[in-house]
Structure 1
């Protein structure tokens, strides 16, 4: 007969349930719920300390999560992930994906799922999806699969990829660190990767072939008005166009680029070609055709100033107002580069207004008019000075240009951190911290941009989760729950025990924080293993796996919310596609765990 839990254990379970309710109801932010949880634990243990402890020990327990090595590791990995994004280290994979999609839609979807899976094994899946979502939106606009049929499978593949290594998600690090605190051996980076790969092979046909069919075409039939910027592309000495005719030019232009020039003879170095396209298409043209959108001396000066001042180069859009001195002027006659040290990369004007001949100078350059939108590159202070002096309205949506010169370096640093951790040369915390420091020292991530790399929500949530986990364990709640669950699980075979634990944690993670589910589930699994006489590692892995099976609700994980608007999904889409995937993964992983550990 199981005894009634102590009042400390009962209080710990009540606080945990209230925290779950707070997350699910969503009336307060995750940060507020997390901080309230920490406050309740701190105050409660100060006035009602655990047996054999002092009131001050309760404060140390409540706030200890902020100094826990798991949180430090998570923050360091965020910094390294930020370094990969801002240096453009992930862009080559994205460009390869776009080329494959042009060959075959189904093949492109399969390759994209594999890329998302592999990248998410080493990088948090959020930056991976942030990079890939615009690509899929652009492909959908060009007639490929709609985003509603691609983003959900892509998100699922990235989540499964994050499940495959201990550094794939912050939840994995959390589970492993809690298990180590409870006395289990430290699990290596790739120790359970083969298990996840086998389960992923079972889930891949579903994500690739079935999941898109369960999703409707949620495209909104509205005209998308992408700004098309007119510019002059200056051919460099290495351009493949040198020596070719205008007829040959049209055949090699990147998709989305139009050529507006007249047929001429063979093209020469520094010849200026009148083209138009979106900002992204113009960047493709510069890269593929080896040209520049502004005089090279201006671009070189901007890069030198950025390097000496350690600032990022920005690209912004500015509208010409009625008071601007630029009206009726052309770019060469405006003196913008000399006066402000910025480069105008292109001018947007609707095609229906481009037919009048007096809009062009004798040299064929477009004269600026009120309402034109300029695409301008430069440093932040120079851009603001240009906007103020020439009466321009700076639009929202400024973006930083990737520091591509650091792309290879950031990839090497990430590889160094992963390899040293995976081969046991250094603990993951040391490898991650060393990698983050190298990102700072080498300039891949700048000190004043750390706030963009770190998520305050994740930091507070992890700290609260660690506090809850310790209270659940030290109050005896985990032991009591383990004993209660083991009474029912004792009659089940090991495969069903693992499946039950995994399913229990999966339900929690789909309606609350997966980090919190991890910190609650890990001590319980450890206790159940002791009660049933089973090795703790497979049960802890069942918790780790269950915490990552967060496909069934939009609130289960941040990337689920990230794709919701772009894919125009509703709650039913997640349930319809996520529940079968959860069932597949729970079944496959339970069977693989039983076979792997010989239970």
Structure 2
């Protein structure tokens, strides 16, 4: 066995150290990623690769920041942001919310099967792009936390993508290389039965075990948890009209309650005191078709927003000791007339409301120092209100969905995903074009794009691309393959298949799918020839190994897409992905040996 080149040793050592630091989580992922890039840049500048210049090392180290994979991920994040801020996914989210209310486990299973089936015929990246915002929205509405659903969804989509030759771009690459080496071309469903059989074992783990291994990573919420008092107005179009209270109880969201009830059926023009969190009030307005602020001011805000192309904001504002509002009611404050903003509710943190007090129960609430107002309006008007009336705006404001552009955002996403899915355009071009259209049509504001992107994901992708290229160009990948071939001659066929699959899996999780396919396919072909084994099962072992990218976030672009939304750490991938990799390697190796009677 030859000693590997010095650059190959350095590449393998750097990979191990970076992986260790990621898993330990003592240093942030961003810092570790930047340190890795810096070490590659400095090391290759002073000790260049053979037949290369020092500047070639700099290009290798920093190429990840301009790599098409990073551009694709950022573009997909922007398009996902467009779906969220326009409310385009609300119908799908409401349907899934109803399923989750029936049974959380049933809802998750339905989602996993949907992701699996769709990924068999459509590239799994656009499938996951469509599902991520839906399940992030569901998490905000009280369904399973995003951190417990997104990783299982990603694993299920990767599993489905493994089942056909068109499921992932890596499958196409492996099959193409195998054909170039002299093997007959495989049909779309050539190896689907093997993957379906393995899925019967893997899906129960993904469905029942993986969510239990993941923590609830939902950030602590300071906004939307206060209970606000307001009046629910019953317009002519409300679902309440003509119904008795008992008929609408089941329609009410959690954390929402009527503080006073009508003696008879609800009727147009009634104003009933209600309370609830911000989310609960929003849901109640949607479900009951009511209003929690005067209709004229809400309409005025929305008309002005549409005319100016601005976003409507909902923010929390605290009344300070210097405010003129102290001692006034909303009716006498003139807030709507003076500033053109709508107060949606009042939170009383200092003293509880005394609902047995007739004045508070049936009259208007008087404002006091420390009260928190839930206010809707445009940014200039909100700022004027805050400065003039001495109220302090709290962090955590949110945008009201621009529903007028919902269909436009959904159409842009579906067209982009559709063109990528049928192979009309590469996913990089389709997603970039979709992101540009999101900007041009106003679905996503350019100055808000930072909210869609994750700095952690960006530097991690750039570092992973640099490490992957270093592993390949330094000769580390080739040396590992030769070493593997020398050690397989005494193993049984199942052991050979498992070893090849594990080798490719390691390359996939630490370099890239393309690297694993490019390096692993010729090696598997040579091993089959050398050991007198059928070539097809070893080529499939490479193909399956390239898809077992569950153990690290840098293994595949969809792993990166869920990282920011699920607030995952590197060790979350290791904790849940390594058992799944082992399950799949053992199961697929057994099925390959059985199918091909090796």
What pairs with 1:538-577 in structure 2 (closer than 5 Å)?
Answer: 538-549=540-551, 575=575
SS at match of 1:230: strand
1:157 aligned to 153, 159, 164, which one?
Answer: 153
The 1:14/1:158 distance shift into structure 2, 3 A limit, reads closer
Shift of 1:344: 0.7
Partner of 2:409: 410
Partner of 1:532: 527
Distance in 1, Cα, partners of 2:331 & 2:413: 44
Distance in 2, Cα, partners of 1:383 & 1:225: 18
Distance in 2, Cα, partners of 1:450 & 1:194: 43
SS at match of 2:310: coil
Shift of 1:449: 1.7
Q: Is the 8 A contact 2:550 2:573 kept in 1?
A: no
Partner of 1:36: 35
Partner of 1:65: 64
- Map Cα deviations across residues 514-534 of structure 1 (whole Å, 9 max, x no partner): 464657755552453354255
Partner of 1:376: 375
Distance in 2, Cα, partners of 1:153 & 1:341: 41
Distance in 1, Cα, partners of 2:112 & 2:564: 19
SS at match of 2:548: helix
Distance in 1, Cα, partners of 2:189 & 2:37: 33
Q: Is the 8 A contact 1:165 1:190 kept in 2?
A: no
The 1:458/1:65 distance shift into structure 2, 3 A limit, reads same
The 1:380/1:153 distance shift into structure 2, 3 A limit, reads closer
Distance in 2, Cα, partners of 1:436 & 1:558: 15
Q: Is the 8 A contact 1:231 1:346 kept in 2?
A: yes
SS at match of 1:444: coil
Q: Is the 8 A contact 2:86 2:409 kept in 1?
A: yes
Partner of 1:299: 298
1:131 aligned to 137, 151, 155, which one?
Answer: 137
Distance in 1, Cα, partners of 2:383 & 2:193: 53
Distance in 1, Cα, partners of 2:174 & 2:468: 11
- Map Cα deviations across residues 42-78 of structure 1 (whole Å, 9 max, x no partner): 3333333333333333333333223322222222222
Distance in 1, Cα, partners of 2:573 & 2:52: 49
The 1:538/1:74 distance shift into structure 2, 3 A limit, reads farther
- Map Cα deviations across residues 332-356 of structure 1 (whole Å, 9 max, x no partner): 2211112222111111237943236
Shift of 1:479: 1.1
SS at match of 1:547: coil
What pairs with 1:277-292 in structure 2 (closer than 5 Å)?
Answer: 277-292=276-291
Q: Is the 8 A contact 1:246 1:264 kept in 2?
A: no
Partner of 1:357: 357
Shift of 1:198: 5.5
The 1:139/1:453 distance shift into structure 2, 3 A limit, reads closer
What pairs with 1:322-471 in structure 2 (closer than 5 Å)?
Answer: 322-349=321-348, 352-355=352-355, 357=357, 359-360=359-360, 364-471=363-470
Distance in 2, Cα, partners of 1:18 & 1:212: 29
- Map Cα deviations across residues 355-413 of structure 1 (whole Å, 9 max, x no partner): 3637549x733222333221111223322322232222323322222223333322222
What pairs with 1:12-411 in structure 2 (closer than 5 Å)?
Answer: 12-104=11-103, 106-111=105-110, 113-114=112-113, 122-124=127-129, 127=133, 129-135=135-141, 138=142, 152=148, 155-162=151-158, 164-165=160-161, 199-209=198-208, 226-246=225-245, 248-250=247-249, 252-349=251-348, 352-355=352-355, 357=357, 359-360=359-360, 364-411=363-410
Q: Is the 8 A contact 2:46 2:54 kept in 1?
A: yes
The 1:19/1:472 distance shift into structure 2, 3 A limit, reads same
Q: Is the 8 A contact 1:46 1:59 kept in 2?
A: yes
Structure 1 runs not aligned, ≥5 long: 141-146, 167-171, 219-223
Partner of 1:144: none
Q: Is the 8 A contact 2:507 2:516 kept in 1?
A: no
Distance in 2, Cα, partners of 1:478 & 1:215: 32
Q: Is the 8 A contact 1:499 1:542 kept in 2?
A: no
RMSD between aligned residues: 4.4
SS at match of 1:383: helix
The 1:276/1:112 distance shift into structure 2, 3 A limit, reads farther
Q: Is the 8 A contact 2:41 2:58 kept in 1?
A: yes
Distance in 1, Cα, partners of 2:588 & 2:136: 28
